[in-house]
Amino acid sequence: MSNALVWLRRDLRDDDHAALYHALKRHTQVYVAFVFDTDILDALSDKQDRRVEFIWESVQALKQALQAQGGDLLVRHGRAQEEIPALAQALNVTAVYANKDYEPLAIARDAAVAQTLLNAGLTLHLFKDQVLFEQDEVMTQAGKPYGVFTPYKNAHLAKLNAFYLKAYPVKKYTSHLAQVSPEPMPSLVSLGFTPTNLAALRVPIGMAGARQLFDDFLQRIDHYHDARNFPAVKGVSYLSVHLRFGTISIRQLARAAWQLSVAGNAGAATWLSELIWRDFYFQILFHRPDLQQGRSYKPEYETLPFSNDPGWFAAWCEGRTGFPIVDAAMRQLNQTGYMHNRLRMVVASFLVKDLLIDWRWGERYFAQKLIDFDFAANNGGWQWAASTGCDAQPYFRIFNPQSQSEKFDPQGKFIRKYVPELAGLDDQQIHAPWAEKFRKKSLFDNGLMGEYPAPVVDHAQQREEALRLYKNNVKQR
């Protein structure tokens, strides 16, 4: 008879779970634990953090699910580096199982835990679970990591098959869950946090919430390749936060997308491509851990001389730049913790190439606000927009916020929702109420837009400034 401990982190579910499956299959008694890690929580300045509340609610739901199967989830609050080894020894287990995390700080944490366990005669077993292909599984013919997405995607798809998408049959072995006396989990308040507006936003939580969203998305996936670009349309899956915290398996999502795309479904093929982007950014981060220290992927852009006007940055953060689509997107982020992916590109381009503010400022702000914040994807997205990253848009590609608004929110529905002071404008005016062709209507002079500000910059002028900034930097190299 042997005991094992499964340590959950970014994998808050009880099915299709690599570490849980291997532990249950190999051991007769398996304990499951989650640690609210103070090394992470203490660094969060905002104690009304939607991510922490989402995790807390999902952990609670998972605890109840495990109890219904005869087990339990042991929940601790402290330093994971200390709590996991202590729990392993207290439970007299012979091994600890967990799924891999690819962020440099997490790798260092896991190495420290592994060493402490090793000193006690125990082993930490780590498994691939949060990606389809990891680390060195998809490489160039020269054995190098890909730096361009399309060839990576092609190699990824060439390798992808039913074997890699097969679910881990956890349910076959749940009789091996250790029976323990039920114990309460720490409250959100005891963790040092207070409730947010998640309940009011009706964000689907935990495994049940993930299944609900996925079932709904499968009814709409046929149109994903078109609908995904329009923020006022229900076109995306809304599963990003569930992928981030593992309340649903990446294999389950990719399997459905792969099967449909093979059958010729264009929407599913596009969505599968987005899931592959996720793997791509994880691979980049694994091979370039220095990115977590704020380094540019392209070294020639490491020290771009951004002007970094703090007033402009504050206007961007608060959604009062005078550019309606930018302000609507930032207000959506601030109010809900979510931002539509098309708009993430628009506001990032605007910050870097209109306001001439270092992309790292925006990256940090997103890291504070996004409920689905994932370092690899966030860093990859910001460096793409700033033209400093792998396979990034060329520096001379600069989004025009007005044309982006007109194209992807043509009736201004999204703007009206988050910038209500503009709701009375017509479908043309709402994208650029300050434009010369509308000035004759004296929108500003008559106060028809309430407190909505005039533009903080002139897009055409700033575009030229951005081009000069990048061109001069390239010349210096």
**pLDDT higher than 60, residue 443:** no
| 3-state SS class at 228 | coil
pLDDT band, very low/low/confident/very high, at 313 (cuts 50, 70, 90): very high
The percent of residues above 90 in pLDDT, for the chain, comes to: 91
Distance of CA 343 to the CA centre of its chain: 14
The yes-or-no verdict on residue 65 having pLDDT over 70 is: yes
CA count, 13 A, side-chain hemisphere, 226: 5
Task: Specify the pLDDT at position 52.
Answer: 98
Asked whether 69 and 211 are in contact (CB, 8 A), the reply is no
Q: What is the model's pTM?
A: 0.94
Is the pLDDT at 447 greater than 90? The verdict is no
CB 327 within 8 A of CB 315: no
Query: Residue 290: which pLDDT band, with cuts at 50, 70 and 90?
Result: very high
Q: Tell whether the model's pLDDT for residue 474 goes beyond 80.
A: no
Whose CA is closest to 104, among 342, 376, 295?
376
Q: Is the pLDDT of residue 436 over 70?
A: no
Helices (H) then strands (E): counts for the chain: 22, 5
- Greater confidence, 475 or 69? 69
Ranking 32-46, 108-122, 339-353, 388-402 by mean pLDDT, the lowest is: 388-402
The overall average pLDDT reported for the chain is 94
pLDDT tens by residue, 177-219: 999 988 899 999 999 999 999 999 999 999 999 999 999 999 9
Contact between 11 and 36 (Cβ < 8 Å): no
Is the pLDDT score of 470 beyond 50?
A: yes
Tabulate helix, strand, coil % of the chain (nearest 5): 55, 5, 40
pLDDT above 80 for 446:
no
Closest CA to 38 of 75, 79, 76: 79
In DSSP terms, 421 is beta-bridged to none
Contact between 31 and 91 under an 8 Å Cβ cutoff? The reply is: yes
At residue 6, the 3 state secondary structure works out as strand
C-alpha 31/C-alpha 24 separation (Å) is 9
Domains of the chain with CATH codes: 3-129 (3.40.50.620), 131-166+207-287 (1.25.40.80), 299-476 (1.10.579.10)
Q: What CA–CA distance (Å, rounded) separates 167 from 16?
A: 5
- Taking CB atoms within 8 Å and a gap of at least 24, the contacts of 115-124 are 116/81, 116/85, 117/84, 117/85, 117/88, 120/85, 120/88, 120/89, 122/85, 122/88, 122/89, 122/93, 122/94, 122/95, 122/96, 123/94, 123/95, 123/96, 124/95, 124/96, 124/97, 124/98
- Give 439's pLDDT tier (boundaries 50, 70, 90): low
Which one-letter amino acid corresponds to residue 91? L
391 pLDDT tier (thresholds 50, 70, 90): confident
Q: What is the signed CA dihedral for 316, 335, 204, 369, rounded to 10 degrees?
A: 40
HSE toward the beta carbon, residue 117, CA cutoff 13 A = 26
- pLDDT number for residue 393: 79
Ranking 240-244, 276-280, 452-456 by mean pLDDT, the lowest is: 452-456
| Stretch (H or E) spanning 459 | helix 459-476
Distance CA 176, CA 230 (A): 47
Instruction: Give the single-character DSSP code of 400.
Output: -
Mean pLDDT of the 43-51 span = 95
213-222, 326-335, 410-419, 446-455: range with lowest mean pLDDT: 446-455
Say what angle helices 266-287 and 149-159 make with each other, to 10 degrees: 110
The predicted-structure confidence for 419-434, as pLDDT tens digits, reads as follows 999 999 999 999 999 8
> Would you say residue 442 has pLDDT above 50?
no
Confidence check: pLDDT of 477 > 80: no
pLDDT at 472: 87
Given a cut of 90, whether residue 118 has pLDDT beyond it is yes
Position 359 scores a pLDDT of: 98
Amino acid (1-letter code) at residue 294: G
Q: Which pLDDT tens digit goes with each residue over 326-335?
A: 999 999 999 9
